[in-house]
Chain A
């Protein structure tokens, strides 16, 4: 007899409440169901009531971790729709901000992953090192989160030339730390036993569900917006795109760790080659039009669509965050795994609610869920 266990939607550590329900046969998961409809924030509707610069502030708050990516993506879409050319220096500053955000997000993810595995020393170390990136972000933008760097047609703050040597030094100090974690994750026998071979997403499933980001690249699906559809200054920097074919949790960890090296590499190039010049374009008029912005966020592709009707207010905006495509991929990942692997498998796609927690309300809900199954069985055989 199958046992259904609901996970979520409410947990103190969850940012975005989502309800999971897994069906078990003994220890093994035979079916999984995701219900993301617990809370819809209605931001797209709200954005239609605000002017373009005001929407930037709103979209910065879509996510506390991607608070550079979302407004930048919206700005890119709007710039396309309104036909605005962004100055070179602004493009470089955007690139730098994006990569800093990726470094901090991947370290955060690795910390959460370590915590889900019961490896809390790793969590403490990773988050300690993450603080250094947060300090850099704070130094550039003024605040730790919600940087308010973007504006339609460029960026609002310049990077002080005098700070660049300091930033380069701080980045160099990162490489040995990343080595340390890469070793820990890939060599430690306990971690390998937990991570290898579980939560598998095959290439075929990944292609069918159109998954994005490190989740896709760990299953051999080679998509990367920075290379495929370059924005900001990515056409002018060299980097590699790590792709692994295994499709398990270890592969997703490896892809992210390798990306950390690439990000540091990109950051160094961008900081060294940043050109002089203005950081904001002038806006003369607002024509009718539409535009699409695509960005590779730490978790995968972010895409924004903007339609302008010639007024100060956008007629329609659309936001797609990467977890939107990665969450459905959890179902094939979970099926065939055991209950103990749920937290790390869910965390392995780095969903925005990555702390989707231990089965916190099992005891209270198990009964009703069980009765439901009974009824199903009875109606089936009765």
Chain B
């Protein structure tokens, strides 16, 4: 599957949940989806695109909190496509559903997102702190900017 086919396929699979998309260059695709479609996305990555998660970036974007999933999926000619999926949620409802039960490798990144910007990952099996110290105060998030 090349980059254009991937976008077509995503349009078909996600429908209206696919909000924005662009191909930056070969092997780099950026999309933005509705946050409720993240579990569907994870299932697609695992079952259809034969991919895995690299890491997630949590961003404080003013009124919203964003979570960028960095996936690597099978491309053409034995290469991989790096698919970056952004979801955002308003700061007063900082909740996103977990994908750890679908891709177990997401546990660390999701716990890190909870620590760093205070996103609440719903359904995370072990929601304990990952990088923040045990005596770090509750409700203070080091990567919050605004």
Contact = CB atoms under 8 A, between A and B. Distances in A.
Q: Do A's and B's CB atoms come within 8 Å in the complex?
A: yes
Given A36-B130, A40-B133, A80-B28, A228 B80 contact: yes
Interface stretch (A64-72, A159-167, A278-286, A318-326): A318-326
Contact of A37 (B53, B57, B133): B133
The DSSP consensus for interface residues of chain A is mixed
Given A210-B53, A291-B24, A292-B84, A316 B59 contact: yes
A227 B79 CA distance: 7
B129 interface: yes
Contacts of A210: 52-54, 103, 105
Interface in B129-145: 129-134, 142-143, 145
B80 A292 contact: no
B72 interface: yes
B79 to A, nearest CB: 6
B129 A37 contact: yes
B38 interface: no
A40 B131 contact: yes
A301 interface: yes
A42 B137 CA distance: 16
Interface string A17-61: 000000000000000000011101010110010000000000000
A207 B105 CA distance: 8
Interface string B34-73: 0000000000000000001111010100000000101010
A328 B132 contact: no
A210 B46 CA distance: 11
B54 A228 contact: no
B27 interface: yes
A102 interface: no
Contacts of A290: 30, 84
Interface residues of B, number: 33
Nearest to A316: B59
Given A40-B132, A40-B133, A303-B54, A292 B82 contact: yes
Interface residues of A, number: 34
Interface in A215-263: 223, 225, 227-230
Contacts of A104: none
B15 interface: no
Contacts of A4: none
A165 B79 CA distance: 34
A294 interface: yes
A210 B50 CA distance: 12
A75 B82 CA distance: 17
A211 B131 CA distance: 19
Interface in A264-313: 290-292, 294, 301, 303, 305, 307
Interface string A184-217: 0000000000000000000000011111000000
Given A229-B80, A324-B108, A305 B132 contact: no
Interface in B89-146: 103-105, 107-108, 129-134, 142-143, 145
Nearest to A224: B80
B24 A325 contact: no
A228 B130 contact: no
A211 B72 CA distance: 13
A37 B79 CA distance: 35
Contact of A292 (B70, B79, B133, B143): B70
A227 B78 contact: yes
B25 interface: yes
Contacts of A316: 57, 59
Given A36-B130, A291-B24, A207 B52 contact: yes
Contacts of B105: 208-211, 325, 328
Given A80-B28, A291-B24, A307 B82 contact: no
A45 B145 CA distance: 10
Nearest to B133: A37
Interface of A: 36-38, 40, 42, 44-45, 48, 80, 207-211, 223, 225, 227-230, 290-292, 294, 301, 303, 305, 307, 316, 318, 320, 324-325, 328
Closest 4 CB pairs of A and B: A210-B105, A320-B55, A318-B57, A228-B80
10 contacts: A45-B142, A48-B145, A210-B52, A228-B72, A229-B79, A291-B24, A303-B54, A303-B70, A305-B55, A320-B55
